[in-house]
């Protein structure tokens, strides 16, 4: 072999090796999640809007993940696009004349910057689990402003219930498809006549700020009550913080349930590789793969959007029949163990459940029923709207954060199969709200909320929620006061109009029941029917 041929073969080998290395680097980069971009698209015509809605309902989440659903002409739509499809997506937008910009150049870099790297999260979890194991005195408060794994959160809930049995009771809503228990806490002394309020979060896995906010609510209640317990034990009530009278008022007069993570499987999946957008931005449950023909190919994907799986106008609008869509509604209403168990839990409280609040992110919205069609309302819309407006105003007092309130199609988009609409229609709950937390609709960082905003977000949300809690508490107290007053009046009016009442009862022991209306009028005291006197 000549020297020139040898040099030629060496050059060919170098080229082949370079290509192989580039392929390996590219594959590794894609596996890590490098190159994910978020496009902000503006449909300016009705045709563009309809095209974008079709894409929203059929898009494979692995390729294009809609952070905002397309809803109105000239309303921005945020879409996370996988690196292998960004070029193709840009060509699609340009071909159809869309106005767009790239809001986030590299989502993975943003995740590392805003939420910390994987080892930091693991270390936080390890430290807290060790503390729970070793801390004999048990400090019930969880450090806020951080994101914790579901194992940490569930262990925390269990320890609260174990160590503060007079204040909190652990509840088990059901079991997920992967075998995790859906846990929550019940606060307040339960009596059959008390009204109930339920607050949940985390039905969508990637909405970490909502989960943190629900955890903050729990922390707020147990901080108040554990301080009282510690003070009583140390006989320092006079010189120490006596607790928040507002929280004490709630616990005395209502029963409060808080379930911080309704979709534990999905939430844990988002933590498997927290700086990889494919994992971190997962929305659905982790139910087994289902397949459907999407017009191009037979696609199979895992997961169901649990907030499209409730039996309210199931699959009617704002949901998809394609399993690879992020808004896939599932094969049938309540097909998923999580939504089925939760609906049964809420139904078990029917008649007492006065308020239901579900926390989501993001857009800064306070949503009430109904969301499947514009200008479609529940009969008590005036009261629902009044309290929502008051809550939004109270929320804004703290930091000036602006929220809008209305039904889904009024302020964001139409959808069906949601938990609050189902609860409103089926359980006749007076106050049924979906709260979309920070950031605002126009903010480009979406689900990646700065950690320094977590506590302010939770604080202002609590301020808004207290408006609902106050309404329920005050109405129940007013009802009890009225009952007490009516009872007093009945006792004053209670007497026997005729002198033969005792004789009639002795002669006919069932006469009070058989001739009840007559005996209420003539022998109410002897028959012990004072409580039935009309006033």
CATH code of 83's domain: 3.30.70.340
User: Which of 8-22, 172-186, 462-476 is predicted least confidently?
Assistant: 8-22
Residue pair 247/188 in contact by the 8 Å Cβ criterion = no
Q: Within this chain, do residues 88 and 181 fall inside the same structural domain, yes or no?
A: no
Give residue-wise pLDDT tens across range 126-152. Answer: 777 777 666 655 556 688 999 999 999
Q: Which phi-psi region, left, alpha or beta, contains residue 462 (left: φ > 0; alpha: ψ -120 to 50)?
A: alpha
Give a yes or no: residue 142 inside a domain. yes
Q: Within this chain, do residues 320 and 423 fall inside the same structural domain, yes or no?
A: yes
Q: What is the pLDDT of residue 23?
A: 43
Q: Within this chain, do residues 347 and 411 fall inside the same structural domain, yes or no?
A: yes
Using pLDDT thresholds of 50, 70 and 90, give the confidence band for residue 466.
very high
Tell me the catalytic residues: 436
Residue pair 403/396 in contact by the 8 Å Cβ criterion = yes
Residue pair 256/197 in contact by the 8 Å Cβ criterion = yes
pLDDT at 296 over 80: no
DSSP H helical ranges for 164-262: 208-233, 245-253
Nearest to 424 by CA among 198, 160, 265: 198
Give a yes or no: residue 113 inside a domain. no
Global pTM?
Answer: 0.84
Q: What is the pLDDT of residue 268?
A: 97
Which residue(s) pair with 104 in the sheet? 38
d(CA 466, CA 472): 10
Q: What is the pLDDT of residue 136?
A: 55
Query: Mean pLDDT, to the nearest integer, of 42-51?
Result: 95
Q: Within this chain, do residues 220 and 364 fall inside the same structural domain, yes or no?
A: yes
Could you give the C-alpha distances from 160 to 54, 108, 247, 513, in angstroms and in order?
A: 47, 35, 17, 49
Q: Within this chain, do residues 46 and 190 fall inside the same structural domain, yes or no?
A: no
Strand order in the sheet with 195-201: 168-175, 181-187, 254-259, 195-201, 353-363, 431-440, 365-368, 404-406
13 vs 259, residue with greater confidence: 259
CATH (domain of 177) = 3.40.630.10
Nearest to 81 by CA among 67, 66, 64: 64
Q: Within this chain, do residues 364 and 300 fall inside the same structural domain, yes or no?
A: yes
Q: What is the pLDDT of residue 139?
A: 55
Of 106, 121, 147, which residue constitutes the final position of a domain? 106
pLDDT at 231 over 70: no
Q: Within this chain, do residues 139 and 212 fall inside the same structural domain, yes or no?
A: yes
d(CA 292, CA 305): 16
DSSP H helical ranges for 116-207: 118-134, 150-163
Q: What is the pLDDT of residue 120?
A: 55
Q: Within this chain, do residues 339 and 374 fall inside the same structural domain, yes or no?
A: yes
Query: Mean pLDDT, to the nearest integer, of 480-484?
Result: 72
Give a yes or no: residue 490 inside a domain. no
Q: Within this chain, do residues 315 and 429 fall inside the same structural domain, yes or no?
A: yes
Q: Is 293 helix (H, G, I), strand (E, B) or coil?
A: strand
Of 431, 446, 477, which residue constitutes the final position of a domain? 477
- Residue-range definition of the domain harbouring residue 503: 495-534
Chain centre to alpha carbon of residue 216: 13
Q: Within this chain, do residues 460 and 349 fall inside the same structural domain, yes or no?
A: yes
Query: Mean pLDDT, to the nearest integer, of 503-530?
Result: 91
Q: What is the pLDDT of residue 119?
A: 53
Could you give the C-alpha distances from 107 to 36, 73, 80, in angstroms and in order?
A: 5, 27, 9
Give a yes or no: residue 435 inside a domain. yes
Q: Within this chain, do residues 321 and 390 fall inside the same structural domain, yes or no?
A: yes
Give a yes or no: residue 112 inside a domain. no
Query: Mean pLDDT, to the nearest integer, of 420-432?
Result: 98
Residue pair 230/385 in contact by the 8 Å Cβ criterion = no
Q: How many domains does the chain have?
A: 3
Give residue-wise pLDDT tens across range 70-107. Answer: 989 999 999 999 999 999 999 999 999 999 999 999 99
Using pLDDT thresholds of 50, 70 and 90, give the confidence band for residue 16.
very low
Q: Within this chain, do residues 307 and 219 fall inside the same structural domain, yes or no?
A: yes
Instruction: Indicate the Cα dihedral angle 403, 410, 206, 440, nearest 10°.
Output: -30
238 vs 287, residue with greater confidence: 287
d(CA 182, CA 214): 14
Give a yes or no: residue 14 inside a domain. no
Give residue-wise pLDDT tens across range 315-328. Answer: 999 999 999 999 99
pLDDT at 525 over 70: yes
Give a yes or no: residue 483 inside a domain. no
d(CA 205, CA 90): 28
Give a yes or no: residue 233 inside a domain. no
Q: What is the pLDDT of residue 239?
A: 28
């Amino acid at each position: 072999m000549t020297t020139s041929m040898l040099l030629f073969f060496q050059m060919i080998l170098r080229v082949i090796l370079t290509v192989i290395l580039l392929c390996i680097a590219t594959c590794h980069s894609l596996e890590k999640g490098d190159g994910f971009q978020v496009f902000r698209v503006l449909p300016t015509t009705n045709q563009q809007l309809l095209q974008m809605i079709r894409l929203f309902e059929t898009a494979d989440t692995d390729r294009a993940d809609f952070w905002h659903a397309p809803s109105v002409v000239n309303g921005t739509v945020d879409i996370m696009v996988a690196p292998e499809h960004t070029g193709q997506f840009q060509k699609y937008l340009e071909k159809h004349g869309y106005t767009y910009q790239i809001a986030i150049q590299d989502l993975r870099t943003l995740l590392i910057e805003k939420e910390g790297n994987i080892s930091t999260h693991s270390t936080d979890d390890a430290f807290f689990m060790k503390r729970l194991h070793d801390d004999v005195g048990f400090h019930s408060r969880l450090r806020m402003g951080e994101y914790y794994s579901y194992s940490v959160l569930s262990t925390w809930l269990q320890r609260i219930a174990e160590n503060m049995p007079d204040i909190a009771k652990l509840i088990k809503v059901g079991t997920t498809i992967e075998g995790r228990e859906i846990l929550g806490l019940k606060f307040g002394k339960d009596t059959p006549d008390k009204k109930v309020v339920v607050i949940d979060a985390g039905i969508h896995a990637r909405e970490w700020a909502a989960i943190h906010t629900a955890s903050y609510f729990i922390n707020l209640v147990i901080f108040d009550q554990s301080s009282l317990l510690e003070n009583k034990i140390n006989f320092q009530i006079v010189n120490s913080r006596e607790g928040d009278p507002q929280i004490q008022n709630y616990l005395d007069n209502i029963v409060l349930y808080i379930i911080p993570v309704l979709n534990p499987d999905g939430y844990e999946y988002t933590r498997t590789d927290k700086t990889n957008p494919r994992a971190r931005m997962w929305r659905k449950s982790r139910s087994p793969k289902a397949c459907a023909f999407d017009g191009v190919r037979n696609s199979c994907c895992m997961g169901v959007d649990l907030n499209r799986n409730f039996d309210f106008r199931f699959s009617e609008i704002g949901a998809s029949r394609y399993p690879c869509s992020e808004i896939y509604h599932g094969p049938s209403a309540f097909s998923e163990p999580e939504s089925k168990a939760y609906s049964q839990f809420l139904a078990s409280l029917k008649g007492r459940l006065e308020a239901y609040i579900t926390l989501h992110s993001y857009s800064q919205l306070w949503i009430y029923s109904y969301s499947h069609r514009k200008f479609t309302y529940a009969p008590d819309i005036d009261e629902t709207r009044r309290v929502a407006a008051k809550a939004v105003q109270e929320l804004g007092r703290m930091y000036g954060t602006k929220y809008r309130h209305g039904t889904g199609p009024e302020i964001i988009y139409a959808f069906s199969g949601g938990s609050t609409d189902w609860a409103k229609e089926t359980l006749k709950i007076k106050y049924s709200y979906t709260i979309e937390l920070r950031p605002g609709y126009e903010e480009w960082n979406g689900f990646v909320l700065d950690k320094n905003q977590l506590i302010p977000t939770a604080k202002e949300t609590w301020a808004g929620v207290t408006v609902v809690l106050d309404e329920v508490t005050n109405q129940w107290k007013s009802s009890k006061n009225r009952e007490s007053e009516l009872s007093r009046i009945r006792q004053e009016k209670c007497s026997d109009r005729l002198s033969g009442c005792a004789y009639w009862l002795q002669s006919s022991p069932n006469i009070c029941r058989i001739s009840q209306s007559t005996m209420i009028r003539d022998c109410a005291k002897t028959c012990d029917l004072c409580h039935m006197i009309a006033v």
